[in-house]
Amino acid sequence: MNDTNTMYDAIIIGAGTAGLTAAIYALRAGKKVLILEEKAYGGQIINAEKVKNYPGFSEISGLQLATNMYEQVKDFGGEIKYEKATGIKVISDSWKEVLTSENKYSAKAIIIATGAANAKLGLAHEEELTGKGVSYCATCDGNFFKGKDVAVVGGGNTALQDALYLSNVANKVYLIHRRDEFRAEHIYVEEAKEKPNIEFVLSSNLKELLGDAKVSGIKVENKAGEMREIPVSGVFMAVGYIPQNQAFSDIIELDDKGYIATSDGIHTNVPGIYVAGDARAKELKQLVTAAADGALAADAMIKEIK
């Protein structure tokens, strides 16, 4: 492992909305900032075809919004390295180290903005059929199912947005949710009701994926215990997210679901280590709250770290 011998004011782990916003605020304050990102900038939002609830834009693609933020960071002189953070070492209150598979980086402060990854249902053959009909990204894979019947599983904003997107591509979309009403915003539910090729399958659980080499159908069970077999070519999972905090669980306090526990939404249990975005325990997980988290975490870091 290489030690870069560079002391940053802040290392931000994650280049989603929270991480990029934190970087913008820290850089504007004249801080030397390094962003570490495992995959690509933008986080989950880059998969959204349309974003309609971010202030200032009546409609914008998730990728374009993320790119705008990324370019702001670069314009302010932010440094981004595409490496996975594998751990944090606390040397002192004013000196932390972030370990990656390749290097070791030093900073006065750390902002964890790792977000969350798609949750899986844990069904038999789910792993084997991923990429063969099972998908976790409608905008990524939707066009493979043009003119075919598909199912979306979930009841939140992502599930409804996925169903609406797929309704313009697929022949029919079955929207399967285990409760009798959706958790999604009212506007998305009403829009889905107006789509003639979206069928709500409520109070039902996905129990089985059918097909060997590729998905050929699904079995769902309702509250009465009645089983229904639905022929589909694709199944899009939108059943929530799993926080990506395990690499830091040896020093950072997590709640029972793996989210970072905070008393004020900013500070972790370790001085000089902050959290922003969907990595932390909070009620509302939206782009606007992720951006707000990033700004608040950076502001606290700027004031507290000398």
Beta strand pairing call for 134-135 and 234-237: parallel
**Surface-to-core class of residue 278, CB atoms within 10 Å of its CB (0-12 exposed, 13-18 middle, 19+ buried):** buried
pLDDT value, residue 141: 86
pLDDT digits (tens, 9 = 90+) for 196-242: 999 999 999 999 999 999 999 999 999 999 999 999 999 999 998 89
User: Any catalytic annotation for residue 75?
Assistant: no
Active-site option among 141, 149, 162, 278: 141
Per the annotation, the verdict on 140 as an active-site residue is: yes
pLDDT of residue 118: 85
Q: Is 250 a catalytic residue?
A: no
Segments of the chain with pLDDT less than 70: 1-4
- Where are the domains positioned within the chain? 2-117+241-304, 120-237
Give pLDDT, residue 4.
66
Q: Which CATH number fits domain 2-117+241-304: 3.50.50.60, 3.20.20.70, 3.90.1300.10, 2.60.40.10?
A: 3.50.50.60
Which CATH number is associated with domain 120-237? 3.50.50.60
The pLDDT value given to residue 186: 96
Catalytic residue among 3, 75, 93, 140: 140
87-126 residue pLDDT tens: 999 999 889 999 998 899 999 999 999 998 888 999 999 9
